[in-house]
């Protein structure tokens, strides 16, 4: 069996009779691929009447079409570095939707890249999932350079801090000079503003040399609104029966959906196999609309596990639906996905720290202590209960999952950037509360994540930004202001006028980390030392407990008020060790609960205090 045939079977394409190779025996694979006698150009354009290859100043070459709408051409003169475009119906000139690099911009010619040449002869083995301490990074805003090299220069800093994995926000190419990355139109092409494919590969090699894993945030639920030409020649790439909040849903169903699945799965394999990423975070998977018998998420995970045997590949989800079954374990290992972002934990914690109760925080403001404690002991706060924002059930039972099936954080790009003014917690709460939140995030047995700069309590905002033009820019500005019109602080047009324009370049530059401040500010140095100390405790004390495995978890609420009180949560391992976290979120002292005998990992000892002070947190480890 040829390799292409094997992949077809693993992707399940044989269900639709898709078994043959393409024209002239060339494998039908999205994109331009270097073969023995040149470059094989492939484009799935089922609604195009004709397609021509425009190759670096040469005369247009008409491409051959098969019954499935695949256009192919084998060019003996093309090679790595060749620039090319496609002309649709003798009129519209477009880039390759599967382009592996766009040296200029998304609407300019694509470049032939041999991504297989990027593969390492000796693979970095990665680290066990329980060791993950994730640090989320926007490449463009992380450093003054705004490049992969700018991230690479700070890797020793992150290693010394105790970070074991960096997670890059989406780097797929988007129109314009700056963007969060979630509006990608060319998913295979690393954004040229950050550097070329070799620069990205150098970043991964440098991280691996320091034993730092690198994860990538990928977006498969929609494509961006500008310079997305797929509708012009591949209408079937999208499913008219479904929609998302960001645009038409991709088509994952039926015969045409099989080619779209293949496109997305090939993208995942490229990042993991060719560039060497150690894991993927899938954005908003609740917006992947798929009524197929075998859901795309299952097919994606199973194909990755099959194609990359022996690799430690960590697959993570953002999932508003709290679908615990996607995180199920088999023989102690994830069947499909390691973990989901724990937004329930964040939302409950944020309400307790700030007192905010507008927007999606409203669904956690009724009993934030219970929501927080349940998240800590069971993963999700909502496990089928009615969610106030939607007035319908949300979530599935999750108490059976291990703690490391959820990723906990006090801040991330969404929770900061979705605020009108992009404020970090360091601008909203006291240093004492900020330290309490950091200790809670880093010393519980769930997987922790920090957002860039959080370790030093920086006050630099992280705003929503995009470089749209024309109507898209105006719609984005107006939509942003309308989104916050129901918040008290932005209830009038004058108040909403203070919201930064997402398409103003100054908004992007205001979001860049100030490393002079991080490196020189006494306040940043003090909080960074706290973070480093907590991470040292985590690596030495908490990770071994996760390796043992937890068999039970218990929670109690402290005080008699659902908003003004504390929590006492405990986890027991298979060997009988008990991890206890006690925290006071009230503005008054609380009676000290009974503490487990053993080692105090963090906080004051009971002999020193008979009450749990406001902002206090105690973490103890009891031995059998």
CA–CA separation, 234 vs 230, rounded Å?
5
CA distances from 177 to 148, 194, 206, 568 (A): 15, 10, 26, 48
Q: Name, in order, each residue with C-beta under 8 angstroms of 216's C-beta and a sequence gap of 6 or more.
A: 167, 168, 170, 171, 271, 277, 279, 280, 281
Note whether 595 and 618 are within 8 A (CB).
yes
Measured CA to CA, the distance from residue 95 to residue 129 in angstroms comes to: 38
pLDDT in tens, 474-514: 989 998 998 898 898 999 999 999 999 999 999 999 999 99
Q: Rounded mean pLDDT of the chain? A: 93
Task: Assign 12 a pLDDT band (cuts: 50, 70, 90).
Answer: low
Per-residue pLDDT at 604? 66
Q: Which of 192, 182, 218, 28 has its CA nearest to residue 107?
A: 192
* 37-78 per-position pLDDT tens digit: 999 999 999 999 999 999 988 999 999 999 999 999 999 999
The residue whose two tokens read 């993927």 is 280
Whole-number Å distance between alpha carbons of 377 and 446? 10
Stated pTM of the model: 0.95
Instruction: Quote the pLDDT of residue 7.
Output: 53
**Do the domains spanning 25-114 and 549-622 agree at the CATH topology level?**
yes
Dihedral (CA of 126, 127, 130, 136) sign = negative
pLDDT bracket for residue 472 (50, 70, 90): confident
Helical ranges in 470-592 per DSSP H: 470-483, 493-496, 505-510, 515-520, 522-537, 543-548
Nearest to 594 by CA among 561, 552, 544, 554: 554
Q: Out of 82-86, 107-111, 539-543, 601-605, which region has the weakest mean confidence (pLDDT)?
A: 601-605
- The residue among 582 and 18 whose pLDDT is bigger is 582
User: 62 is written with which tokens?
Assistant: 């008409």
pLDDT digits (tens, 9 = 90+) for 276-286: 999 999 999 99
Token pair in block for residue 42 = 């492939």
Q: What percent of the chain has pLDDT over 70?
A: 95
Q: DSSP for 238-253, please give it.
A: EEEEEEETTEEEE--S
SS3 563: coil
Superfamily designation of domain 549-622? Golgi alpha-mannosidase II (2.60.40.1180)
Full DSSP string of 340-397: EE-HHHHHHHHHHHH---SGGGGGGSSSHHHHHHHHHHHS-S-SSSEETTTTEE----
Q: Kindly indicate the confidence band of residue 258, based on its pLDDT and cuts at 50, 70 and 90.
A: very high
What's the start-to-end Cα distance of the chain, in Å? 56
Cβ-Cβ contacts under 8 Å for 219 (sequence gap 6 or more): 170, 172, 181, 182, 184, 187, 283, 284
* Pairing mode of beta strands 617-622, 599-602: antiparallel
Is-contact 191 174, C-beta < 8 A?
yes
Confidence label for 333 from pLDDT (cuts 50, 70 and 90): confident
Contact 315, 301 (CB under 8 A): yes
* Alpha helices, DSSP H, located in 139-229: 139-142, 148-153, 155-161, 197-209
Catalytic residue among 318, 455, 467, 568: 318
Q: Where are the domains of the chain?
A: 25-114, 549-622
For 54-104, what is the HEC assignment? Answer: EECCCCCEECEECCCCEEEEEECCCCCCCEEEEEECCCEEECCCCCCCCCC
Spatial neighbors of 294 by CB under 8 A, at least 6 apart, are 12
Q: Name every residue whose Cβ is closer than 8 Å to that of residue 74 and which is 6 or more positions away in sequence.
A: 24, 26, 35, 37, 38, 39, 40, 41
CA distance 389 to 371: 15
Beta-bridge partners for 75:
39
Please give the Cα distance from 450 to 441 (Å, whole number).
Answer: 9
- Are 464 and 418 contacting, i.e. CB atoms less than 8 angstroms apart? yes
| Domain 25-114 annotated CATH 3.60.15.10 | no
- Decide: helix, strand or coil at residue 600: strand
What pLDDT, in 10s, does the model give residues 533-589?
Answer: 999 999 999 999 999 999 999 999 999 887 899 999 999 999 999 999 999 999 999
Q: Would you state the pLDDT for residue 19?
A: 44
What is the CA 286 to chain-centroid distance, rounded? 14
Q: Which helix (H) or strand (E) holds 259?
A: helix 254-269
State the pLDDT at residue 11.
56
Helix (H) or strand (E) holding 407: strand 406-408
Please check the confidence at residue 363 and state whether its pLDDT lies above 50.
yes
**Is 283 annotated in the active site?**
yes
């Amino acid at each position: 069996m040829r390799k292409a045939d094997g992949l077809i079977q693993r992707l399940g394409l044989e269900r639709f009779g898709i078994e043959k190779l393409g024209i002239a025996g060339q494998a039908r694979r999205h994109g331009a691929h270097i073969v023995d006698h040149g470059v094989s150009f492939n484009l799935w354009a089922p609604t195009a009447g004709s397609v021509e290859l425009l190759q670096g100043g040469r005369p247009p070459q008409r491409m051959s079409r098969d019954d499935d709408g695949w256009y192919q051409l084998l060019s003996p003169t093309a090679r790595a570095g060749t620039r090319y475009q496609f002309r649709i119906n003798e009129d519209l000139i477009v880039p390759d939707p599967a382009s592996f690099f766009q040296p200029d911009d998304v609407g300019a010619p694509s470049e032939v890249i041999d991504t297989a040449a990027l593969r390492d002869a000796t693979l970095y083995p990665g680290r066990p999932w329980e060791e993950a301490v994730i640090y989320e990074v926007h490449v463009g805003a992380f450093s003054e350079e705004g490049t992969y090299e700018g991230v690479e220069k700070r890797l020793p800093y992150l290693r010394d801090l105790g970070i074991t994995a960096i997670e890059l926000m989406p780097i797929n190419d988007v129109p314009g000079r700056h963007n969060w990355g979630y509006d990608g139109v060319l998913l295979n092409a690393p954004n040229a503003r950050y550097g070329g494919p070799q620069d990205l590969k150098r970043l991964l090699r440098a991280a691996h040399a320091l034993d730092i894993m690198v994860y990538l945030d990928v977006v498969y639920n929609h494509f961006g609104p500008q310079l997305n030409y797929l509708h012009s020649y591949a209408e079937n790439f999208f499913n008219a029966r479904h929609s998302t909040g960001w645009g038409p849903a991709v088509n994952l169903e039926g015969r045409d959906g099989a080619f779209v699945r293949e496109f997305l799965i090939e993208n995942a394999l490229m990042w993991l196999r060719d560039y060497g990423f150690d894991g993927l975070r899938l954005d908003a998977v609740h917006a992947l609309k798929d009524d197929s018998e075998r859901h795309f998420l299952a097919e994606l995970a199973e194909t990755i596990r099959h194609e990359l045997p022996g690799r430690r590949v960590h697959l993570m989800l953002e999932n508003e639906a709290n679908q615990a079954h996607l995180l199920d374990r088999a023989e102690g290992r994830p069947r499909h996905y390691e973990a989901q972002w724990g937004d329930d934990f964040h939302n409950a914690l944020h309400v307790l720290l700030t007192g905010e109760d507008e927007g999606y925080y409203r669904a956690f403001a009724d009993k934030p202590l219970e929501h927080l404690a349940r998240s800590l002991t069971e993963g999700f706060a909502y496990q089928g209960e009615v969610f106030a924002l939607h007035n319908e059930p949300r979530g599935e039972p999750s108490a059976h999952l291990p703690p490391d099936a959820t990723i906990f954080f006090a801040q991330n790009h969404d929770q900061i950037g979705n605020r009108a003014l992009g404020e970090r917690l360091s601008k909203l709460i006291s240093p004492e509360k900020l330290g309490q939140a950091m200790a809670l995030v880093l010393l519980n047995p769930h997987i922790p994540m920090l957002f860039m700069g959080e370790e030093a309590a920086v006050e630099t905002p992280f705003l929503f930004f995009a470089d749209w033009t024309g109507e898209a820019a105006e719609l984005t500005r107006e939509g942003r202001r309308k989104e916050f019109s129901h918040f008290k602080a932005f209830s009038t047009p004058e108040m909403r006028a203070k919201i930064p324009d997402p398409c103003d370049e100054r908004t992007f530059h205001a979001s860049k980390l100030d490393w002079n401040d991080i490196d020189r500010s006494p306040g940043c140095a003090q909080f960074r030392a706290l973070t480093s100390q907590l991470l040292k405790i985590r690596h030495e004390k908490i990770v071994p407990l996760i390796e043992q495995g937890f068999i039970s978890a218990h929670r109690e609420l402290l005080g008699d008020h659902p908003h003004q009180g504390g929590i006492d949560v405990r986890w027991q391992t298979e060997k009988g060790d008990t991890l206890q976290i006690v925290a006071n979120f009230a503005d008054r002292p609380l009676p000290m609960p009974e503490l487990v005998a053993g080692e105090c990992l963090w906080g004051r000892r009971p002999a020193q205090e008979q009450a749990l002070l406001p902002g206090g947190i105690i973490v103890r480890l009891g031995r059998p």
